[in-house]
């Protein structure tokens, strides 16, 4: 389509939102008459030769691949359950590909919906593809609404596809010779075109820019109906899907994201990926949004040293953003290094792995790294938290079920999580929480290497690497009768113990590593942790382990806002744990509860009482330190924010 045609289509698209279906069809018939067509005219498709078809497909390779590989698999039920033909055409009406032709039986040789044929109003009269191109809007054309009698054997629903510059690049059509619910079919083709447009935006921008998805309904955030915007490093919107502008009723071109949502760019950049965030849009709409950051490219410093022979280049395969390189799992702790070496060796053997460790100690992080450094990395890693699934649903979630197997079951059934992990890795976290009934079925699956879904007599072979994890002492659970002894010995081929953060010999280096990784993920300039802050982090008891460390450092980075982290950037609950540890240590030294103890500072010893009210203690220290907030916070073991709170 030329630029003039694109402008005309845009005008028609704007009008299409107000004109009725009857008016759209009447206007199309009027245009057909102006083209000199009659109802008995023979369709003219402008058939391309073999060379022309090859050039056509090469020109639109991206559109065809995006539709076929990234969108249609999610709508396979249309092809499998309906006598319909899905057609992709370019902006001029040339058919690029079709799916489902084996179900489109009448007039197989005469329907004209074949690759290379051109469907325009000028050549084929009123038809879904040609009329969608002419109007720039989604349209449904019934049997008798086709201008040419030759096309009145079918019903067509089509919608235009727009690229990242809002230019029409093609049309997606669903045509059928059988009855299909009109509203449903038109709604489905609109949904499919939105999916294609969203994928075109993702493919064009996701490697270098921040993508933001938003919706009024948090449950629909990942649906094609959500708004999608792309922003550059300065927060300018450089692309948006059509839904974004419809939902906000606002021109988003080059608008600043801070003018659209009531949050700062830094907040968006620091927000955890995949976690919904509630915001206000334009001061009048409540929205939920999620962000997707671009992958971090590895920076390799050039080596300018002269060599007689060039050293062989070892290229490390790119890992997903949430996977830690295997050699970075430990930073000097011999226990972790030993367990990593053992697990890596056993990962390629038919031996299960059982990991013991406290909650939050990094068991899933360890497993993800193991999987993506194994021969199974091309297949799924399915992580199941046995404690998070309701007991009555664990069986159906793990083993799958046939449609109608129980009340409330999906009418499509479910293959289950074990079969989803076929040829990959199944990670059963908190396996000690698994109900005994389910333990018996799991044991049978591990013995027979087959799964039988609920409500079915058919068995399906599975090839999985099983890794389990627990924070319980399973041998004690076996003695109590809460865990099957035979299952315990089936899953505990290699037993590993992941130490808690407080016991790790590489705690300081690990803290620095996590800080650096979070800094890069947030797109911030890296500032090393000061010695005071690092010592404070090392001295912390970390009851929540690595998970708590990540949370504390994420908050501190957000508070620092690009500056080096200081003590007042760290949340108050961090100091609660630290103070609790200090008191416990002092009381353990033989001081009775309530006694004064001596704390040495630069200005001399200060007597403090553990039961002294926090507010009184802060006010007293503030005076003793001559109004120095930093020294007061350090002496009281709290953040500077807490000091400000009590001295106002």
Residue, of 575 and 307, whose pLDDT is higher:
575
> According to the model, what pLDDT value does residue 225 have?
86
- pLDDT at res. 125: 95
Cα distance between residue 81 and residue 68, in whole Å: 18
pLDDT at 507 over 70: yes
- Indicate where the chain has its CATH 3.30.450.40 domain(s): 3-187
pTM, entire model:
0.47
Average pLDDT of span 274-281: 88
Pairwise CA distance, residues 612 & 638, whole Å: 14
Please state the rounded mean pLDDT for residues 509-516: 93
Q: What pLDDT, on the 0 to 100 scale, is given for residue 368?
A: 93
253 against 169, higher pLDDT: 169
Radius of gyration of the chain (CA): 32
**273 vs 327: CA distance, rounded Å:** 24
318, two tokens:
């790119």
pLDDT for 595? 34
Provide the 3-class DSSP secondary structure of residue 191.
Answer: helix
Q: What does the CA dihedral 564, 567, 573, 579 come to, rounded to 10 degrees?
A: 150
Between these two residues, 139 and 5, which has the higher pLDDT value? 139
CATH number of 3-187: 3.30.450.40
Residue 513 or 639, more confident: 513
Higher pLDDT, 53 or 644: 53
Mean pLDDT, the chain, as a whole number? 82
Which among 503, 508, 504, 509 is positioned nearest to 328, based on CA atoms? 509
Model confidence pLDDT, tens digit, residues 231-261: 988 889 999 999 998 888 888 888 899 999 9
Q: pLDDT tier at 212 (50, 70, 90 boundaries)?
A: very high
Q: What's the pLDDT score for residue 253? A: 84
Residue extent(s) of CATH 1.10.8.60 domains in the chain: 503-647
Residue 83 has pLDDT above 70, yes or no: yes
What's the whole-number mean pLDDT along residues 494-500? Answer: 93
What confidence tier does 640 reach under pLDDT thresholds 50, 70, 90?
low
3-state helix vs strand vs coil in the chain, percent to 5: 45, 15, 40
Confidence at residue 599, expressed as pLDDT on a 0 to 100 scale: 43
In this predicted structure, the answer to whether residue 12 has a pLDDT above a threshold of 60 is no
3-state secondary structure (DSSP) of residue 239? strand
Question: Who contacts 517 (Cβ-Cβ below 8 Å, separation ≥6)?
Answer: none
pLDDT of residue 78: 57
DSSP for 336-360, please give it: HHHHHHHHHHHTTTT--EEEE--TT
Look at residue 584 and tell me whether its pLDDT is greater than 90: no
Mean pLDDT across the stretch 61-68?
90
Sheet holding 168-176, edge to edge: 95-99, 84-90, 168-176, 155-162, 139-141
Where do we find the tokens 């000028």? 122
Token output for 182: 């009109």
Per-residue pLDDT band for 503 (boundaries 50, 70, 90) equals very high
Collapse the DSSP code of 371 into the 3-class scheme (helix H, G, I; strand E, B; otherwise coil) and give the result: helix
206-292 has which fold?
Answer: Beta-Lactamase (3.30.450)
Q: pLDDT confidence of 2, banded at 50, 70, 90? A: very low
Q: Say yes or no to pLDDT of 384 above 80.
A: yes
CATH superfamily of 319-499: P-loop containing nucleotide triphosphate hydrolases (3.40.50.300)
Q: What is the pLDDT of residue 51?
A: 73
Residue that wins the pLDDT comparison between 182 and 507: 507
**Where residue 298 falls among pLDDT bands split at 50, 70, 90?**
very low
Angle, in degrees to the nearest 10, between helices 572-588 and 640-647:
90
Which of 295, 223, 224, 210 has the alpha carbon at shortest distance from 257? 210
pLDDT per residue over 317-373, tens digit each?
568 878 999 889 999 999 999 999 999 999 999 899 999 999 899 999 999 999 999
Examine the pLDDT at 483 and tell me if it is beyond 90: yes
Per-residue confidence (pLDDT) for residue 64, from 0 to 100: 92
Q: What does the pLDDT read at residue 306? A: 46
**Residue 562 pLDDT > 80, yes or no?**
yes
pLDDT for residue 224: 85
List, for residues 587-630, the tens digit of each pLDDT value: 433 333 333 333 434 443 343 444 346 778 888 888 888 878 77
Residue 287 zone, left/alpha/beta (φ > 0; ψ -120 to 50; rest): beta
* 81 contacts 412 by C-beta, under 8 angstroms: no
Contact 445, 451 (CB under 8 A): yes
249: left (phi over 0), alpha (psi -120 to 50) or beta: left
Instruction: Identify the band that residue 316 occupies on the pLDDT scale cut at 50, 70 and 90.
Output: very low
The pLDDT assigned to 315 comes to: 40
pLDDT of residue 148: 94
pLDDT for the residue numbered 141: 93
Among 158-172, 401-415, 473-487, where is mean pLDDT lowest?
A: 401-415
368 Cβ neighbours under 8 A, 6+ residues apart:
322, 323, 324, 381, 383
Q: Would you say how long the chain is, in residues?
A: 648
Please give the share of the chain, as a percent, with pLDDT higher than 70.
82
Calpha distance 412→408 (Å, rounded):
11
- Please tell us whether the domain made up of 503-647 is placed in CATH 1.10.8.60: yes
């Amino acid at each position: 389509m030329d630029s003039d045609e694109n402008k005309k289509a845009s005008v028609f698209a704007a009008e299409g939102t107000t004109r009725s279906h009857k008016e759209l069809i009447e206007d199309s018939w009027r245009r057909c008459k102006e083209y000199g067509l009659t109802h008995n005219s023979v369709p003219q498709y402008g058939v391309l030769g073999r060379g022309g078809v090859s050039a056509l497909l090469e020109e639109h390779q991206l559109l065809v691949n995006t539709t076929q590989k990234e969108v249609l698999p999610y709508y396979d039920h249309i092809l499998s359950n309906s006598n319909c033909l899905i057609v992709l055409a370019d902006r001029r009406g040339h058919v690029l590909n079709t799916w489902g032709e084996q179900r489109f039986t009448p007039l197989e040789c005469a329907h004209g919906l074949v690759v290379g044929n051109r469907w325009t109003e000028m050549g084929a009269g009123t038809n879904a593809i040609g009329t969608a191109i002419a109007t720039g809007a989604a349209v449904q054309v019934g049997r008798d609404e086709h201008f040419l009698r030759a096309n009145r054997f079918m019903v067509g629903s089509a919608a235009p596809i727009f690229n990242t510059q809002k230019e029409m690049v093609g049309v997606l059509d669903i045509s059928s010779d059988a009855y299909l619910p009109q509203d449903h079919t038109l709604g489905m083709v609109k949904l499919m075109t939105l999916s294609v447009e969203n994928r075109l935006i993702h493919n064009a921008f996701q490697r270098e820019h921040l993508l933001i998805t938003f919706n009024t309904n948090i449950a629909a955030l990942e649906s094609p109906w959500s708004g999608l915007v792309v922003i550059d490093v300065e927060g300018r919107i450089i692309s948006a899907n059509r839904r974004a502008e419809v939902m906000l009723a606002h021109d988003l071109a080059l608008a600043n994201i801070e003018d659209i949502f009531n949050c700062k760019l830094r907040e968006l950049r620091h927000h955890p990926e995949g976690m919904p965030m509630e915001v206000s849009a334009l001061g009048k709409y409540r929205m939920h949004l999620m962000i997707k950051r671009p992958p971090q490219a590895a920076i390799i410093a050039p080596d300018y040293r002269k060599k007689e022979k060039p050293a062989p280049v070892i290229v490390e395969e790119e890992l997903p953003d949430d996977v830690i390189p295997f050699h970075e799992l430990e930073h000097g702790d011999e226990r972790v290094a030993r367990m990593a070496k053992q697990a890596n060796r056993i990962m390629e053997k038919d031996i299960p792995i059982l990991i013991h460790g406290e909650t939050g100690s990094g068991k899933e992080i360890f497993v993800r790294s193991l999987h993506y450094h194994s021969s199974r990395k091309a297949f799924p890693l399915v992580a199941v938290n046995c404690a998070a699934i309701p007991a009555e649903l664990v069986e159906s979630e793990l083993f799958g079920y046939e449609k109608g197997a129980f009340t409330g079951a999906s009418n499509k059934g479910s293959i289950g999580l074990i079969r989803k992990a076929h040829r990959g890795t199944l990670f059963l976290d908190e396996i000690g929480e698994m109900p005994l009934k389910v333990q018996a079925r799991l044991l049978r699956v591990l013995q027979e290497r087959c799964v039988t879904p609920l409500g079915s007599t058919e068995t399906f072979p599975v090839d999985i690497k099983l890794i389990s994890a627990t924070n319980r002492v399973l041998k004690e659970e076996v003695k109590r009768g809460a865990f099957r002894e035979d299952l315990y010995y089936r899953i505990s081929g290699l037993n590993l113990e992941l130490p808690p953060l407080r016991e790790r010999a590489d705690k300081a280096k690990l803290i620095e590593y996590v800080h650096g990784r979070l800094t890069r993920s947030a797109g911030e300039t890296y500032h090393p942790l000061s010695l005071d802050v690092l010592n404070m982090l090392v001295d912390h008891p970390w009851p929540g382990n690595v998970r708590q460390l990540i949370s504390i450092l994420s908050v501190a980075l957000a508070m620092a806002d690009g500056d080096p982290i200081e003590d007042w950037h760290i949340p108050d609950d961090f100091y609660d744990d630290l103070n609790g540890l200090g008191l416990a240590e002092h009381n353990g030294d033989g001081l009775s509860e309530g006694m004064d103890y001596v704390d040495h500072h630069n200005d001399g010893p200060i007597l403090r009482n553990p039961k002294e009210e926090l507010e009184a203690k802060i006010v007293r220290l503030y005076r003793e330190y001559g109004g120095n907030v930093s020294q007061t916070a350090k002496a009281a073991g709290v953040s500077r924010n807490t000091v400000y709170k009590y001295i106002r």
